[in-house]
A and B are shown apart, each in its own frame.
Chain A
Amino acid sequence: EDQVTQSPEALRLQEGESSSLNCSYTVSGLRGLFWYRQDPGKGPEFLFTLYSAGEEKEKERLKATLTKKESFLHITAPKPEDSATYLCAVQAYSNTGKLIFGQGTTLQVKP
Chain B
Amino acid sequence: DGGITQSPKYLFRKEGQNVTLSCEQNLNHDAMYWYRQDPGQGLRLIYYSQIVNDFQKGDIAEGYSVSREKKESFPLTVTSAQKNPTAFYLCASSIDEQRYGYTFGSGTRLTVV
Tell me which of B33, B50, B102 contacts A46 (CB under 8 A): B102
Count CB-based A-B contacts (< 8 Å): 63
Q: Mark A39-70, 1 if CB is under 8 A from B, else 0.
A: 00111111101010000000000000000000
Task: Write out the residue numbers on chain B whose beta carbons fall within 8 Å of the beta carbon of A101.
Answer: 35, 42-44
Q: Which one of B12-20, B66-74, B77-85, B90-98 is at the interface?
A: B90-98
Determine the residue in chain A with the shortest Cβ distance to B92: A43
Q: How large is the interface on A (under 10, 10 to 19, 20 to 34, 35 or more residues)?
A: 20 to 34
Determine the residue in chain A with the shortest Cβ distance to B39: A103
- Is B107 in contact with A98, judged by CB distance below 8 angstroms? no
State whether the Cβ of B8 lies closer than 8 Å to any Cβ in chain A. no
Interface of A is mostly: strand
- Is B101 in contact with A49, judged by CB distance below 8 angstroms? yes
Q: Mark A87-98, 1 if CB is under 8 A from B, else 0.
A: 101010000011
Task: Write out the residue numbers on chain A whose beta carbons fall within 8 Å of the beta carbon of B107.
Answer: 41-43
- Is A98 in contact with B48, judged by CB distance below 8 angstroms? yes
CA distance A44 to B41 in the complex (A): 14
